[in-house]
Structure 1
Amino acid sequence: MGWKPPGEIERRQCVIESTEIMRRPDIEYTEHEDLFRIEAVGLEWDIGAQIYEPSDPSKVAVGADGKKVGVYLLSGGDGDFNTMAPVAKILCGKFGFKVTTMTYPGRLYLDDPSRHWPGDTINPDGTIRTPQWLTGEHITPDQYEVVKDASIRERYGTRTVLHAREGSTFWHRMAGWPAAFERGGIEAMTRNMPEDEYSIYVHGHSTGGPFVFMLSQRVPNVAGVMAIENSAFGYINKAKLAKIGSLGAIGDFEKVVTETQRTDPFYELYIRTWRDKARYVGPEKLGQDGPVALMRLPLVIEEVMERWEAAKMQPQFKCEYTVSTNIEASLEEGARVSAKRMGLDDVDTEALVEQFLGYGRELKGEDVKPVPPVLFCVAKDSRDHGVESYRTLVMPMYAEMEPAPKTALVHFQAGVHSYWTSEKELPAGIAPSVAQVWYDAVMGGYFLAD
């Protein structure tokens, strides 16, 4: 029969499991950086990954298929490998999985071995944090225009975005980075979890979800997608966001649906601020405490600022929406800009356009690897990952794929979008309980072919 995923996991079970798991002695493990250089769309890119693996190779977990268990973790688009470190350490130290956490191209701070970004995203002197795609290469202020955008203020407040100037290094990097991500993700898994030894289970938190779904068909030994708070393929995520509206939804509180169709151009970089912590803390407090949370607004504001202060050392800029919400016009334009720079002919240009357009949806065809089994999970107080939208839209859209992958949905009755965030009785959030579900699924044969 094999392991069957539970429909719900009660808060009390999360507390019991988390307490037991975190009290276990650690499996001794090592952590190291894997920094490597790739070439994509005629440019060089430095890609960084953090590797966690048991010190004793015999302690690496072996799954139901007889292969070692490897996990590829990806943060949301604003973070780097540090974002997923709490999850990686639980998976490796408590369950014996080998874990590779990759940073998006441009998000790794290459000027300092600590990889901690200095200062703030927008500094008092007016300087603004920008990506670093190659060691020694820096994006200078003459390469962009600073824009204040209030068009989606209801969700984000007033946004600061950078528009790359046409023809600049920034312009060409912004056009080509999706291809660098594809190449880097494949290489990170191939280098660290080879096909003859490992089955790989991928997880992309939030915006990272569409990217790991994309990679799941491009890496032969990816055996499954462990999708908690993990957005779907770009075109499905786009449909989900249209359904739930720009403000999302929490629990049984009335949903305010507003039209939400992103049109971000390929050359636009969103610079995050404290506002991005506020847009999650607000709904989470509503779900946890109810409307009374507004009566403690000064305390809530302090928590927002504390979270931002702790997060500033991570990249906190973002341009992944073209893939994560399948903005086809922007993907095509980026491909054509890259093709022109490389001097491609018409045939190769169209091939590159098709490559870029393929990032937002599943690959199809006789010789294409099918989408592997998916285990969807959602947290109780998640604004953008409500159970209803998964049951009525996301999972039915996966069922329409040919062939349709195995899917299931687990609803945790605790936790928030960043599911490792501490809350009462859950110092590591629901991450330990999530890890237990993943372990049970891998060991119990959920991801094996039927």
Structure 2
Amino acid sequence: MSSLWFEKALLKSGWQSNVLLTIGNGRITSIETNTMPQGERHAIGVPGMPNLHSHAFQRVIAGLTERRTSEQDSFWSWREQMYKFQARIGPDELQTIAALAYMEMLEGGFTRVGEFHYLHHDFDGRPFADPAEMGGRILAAAEATGIGLTLLPVFYAHSGFGGLPPTPGQVRFIHDLDGFQRLLDASHGHAARLDDAVVGIAPHSLRAVTPEELTALIPLAPRAPIHIHIAEQVKEVEDCLAHTGQRPVEWLLDHAPVNDQWCLVHATHMTPEETTCLAKSGAIAGLCPITEANLGDGVFPARDYLKQGGRFGIGSDSNVLISAAEELRLLEYGQRLIHCERNVLANSSCGESLYIRALDGAQALGVQSGIAIGQPADIVSLECDLDSFVFASARSPIDCVWRFGRKQVEGGRHIKRAAVLADYRKLMQRLAS
């Protein structure tokens, strides 16, 4: 048993003062308010933020694709550069890269990550003897750094609408339905060694999965999270319209049982009708403002979506920059630029509103969020209030981060930072040679 005391803490019931938390076996066993200081003392305590959407391996190309390579540089040209890098990442490399990304997530305020994992096979596309060899390395990186993990093995079968054959750059991603079942079974086996890992599924996108395959996949996750990329790019919308006669979100809501198991990642390009229907579906919108800006995707219609009762979470996606505060800041600033208003997504305090709303994303990771009795002790201590955390902190005000009751970040730095960085530097030297 251990105890943490906060001058102020954001509980399920709202802000409370002089809060004493008792923690046992990774979970909060008691909460007392208006207590005298005791145990380990901190200023402000908030729930850890869920990171709904990560491609951990893409952390290795952060900062390496910021040169124009064509007349029309876009997501699609960036994707070709990403394909070239992934062709050099084996199991050892993936584990090292993921450990760096997960360390940075914890330092940035994220305590659980949804890993949208599609780098499955060996360099030539042949499956490993263990179908979940690469997913096992993701789990090993999560175990080493202490972050909570929702593993989302990706079903990826085609390069475009209509069941087009995969391209050479996609051979490491590809499965048929039988192979995916073996992958999923092996993933569950690996996940059993973590405290509270969750395994869901991720049909990659409507362009990579046929309607028949999507129908067959959904029963594989009877109570688990289901994530899908949707309507990220204008070209994707145009291609979907040409092939199906419907826009991507419209088609999905009409043809799949979208409910509170689902996370629609990006959903950037929606009509007002689609926005309303998604908000009413019970699904979570998985927003990744930093990556969406970096790739030139567009801006999610957040104001209208929230007015319709929609819920969202945030994700670090390509991991070009990992920070919960930066994701929330850019989400709000994008709305301000579009609507020419301030505090667009606020109820009152904008930083607080954004933070509390984004905690809803835990639903999409198969868990609950919040500081409450019985919940995992996933807690972030701050040196300032949430408005300052989101909008006015050039230097991170995160002091400590506890994940499942274990302190993984102290003084703003992960407890294994030196070792993780040393391994990553050795990897980059090998990749550069």
> Normalising by the residue count of structure 1, what TM-score does the alignment of the two structures yield?
0.28
> Normalising by the residue count of structure 2, what TM-score does the alignment of the two structures yield?
0.29
More strand by share: 2
